[in-house]
Structure 1
Amino acid sequence: METAVKKIGNSAGVVIPKPMLQEIGAEAGDKVDLRVVDGRIIMQPIVKNVREGWAEAAAAIAAAGDDELVLGDFANDDDDTEWTW
């Protein structure tokens, strides 16, 4: 597919068709890694860890004092029954 490099401020850009983005598993707004290898521009989506940032978010919630249990402690109906093993 032939396309043109377009001026965007002091930089330049190329419109990437949606089917090509889908082929690499990316969509508009995703972060990508760009690098030059042997005179070619290589673009790959940046795949982040599913739980990335969870520890920091949990720490921020705890620091704000908003980490109390939602349901609290509760018992099951048969908790007072003796179990037989």
Structure 2
Amino acid sequence: MNTRLIRIGNSLGIVLPKKLLQQYRLTGEVNLQPTPEGVLLTPVTKFCRQGWDERFQHATTQNQVPESELLEGFPDEAFEDAEWQW
């Protein structure tokens, strides 16, 4: 797919077709990363914990970290059921 650079103020830009934006879920803010082949355009992820579940599942299936150690130190049910005073 070819497109032309267009002048936008003192800069140059490109117009991306709607179908391409939808295909790669590009909306709002995007990340530009220079690569040897050109510029890589990716969506900015706003969720700091995005992908944690997949990485956790991968780590436990690869026996990198036992699941019991990951949950060690978390409050038990008695802690959760305790009456709190403010």
Taking structure 2 as the reference length, the TM-score comes to 0.51
Higher helix share: 2
Ranges in structure 1 where 5+ consecutive residues have no aligned partner: 52-85
Deviations 1:24-72 (A, max 9, x none): 1123xx1000021004011000011189xxxxxxxxxxxxxxxxxxxxx
SS at the partner of 1:3?
coil
Structure 1 position 14, deviation (Å): 0.2
Percent identity at matched positions? 35
- Counterpart position of 1:59: none
Q: Which amino acid aligns with 1:2?
A: N
Residue correspondences, number = 49
Q: Which runs of 4+ in 1 moved over 3 A?
A: none
Question: How far apart, in 1, do the equivalents of 2:41 and 2:10 lie?
Answer: 21
Ranges in structure 2 where 5+ consecutive residues have no aligned partner: 50-86
- CA RMSD, aligned part only? 1.9
Alpha carbons of structure 1 residues 10 and 39: separation in structure 2 relative to 1, 3 Å: farther
Question: How far apart, in 2, do the equivalents of 1:19 and 1:11 lie?
Answer: 25
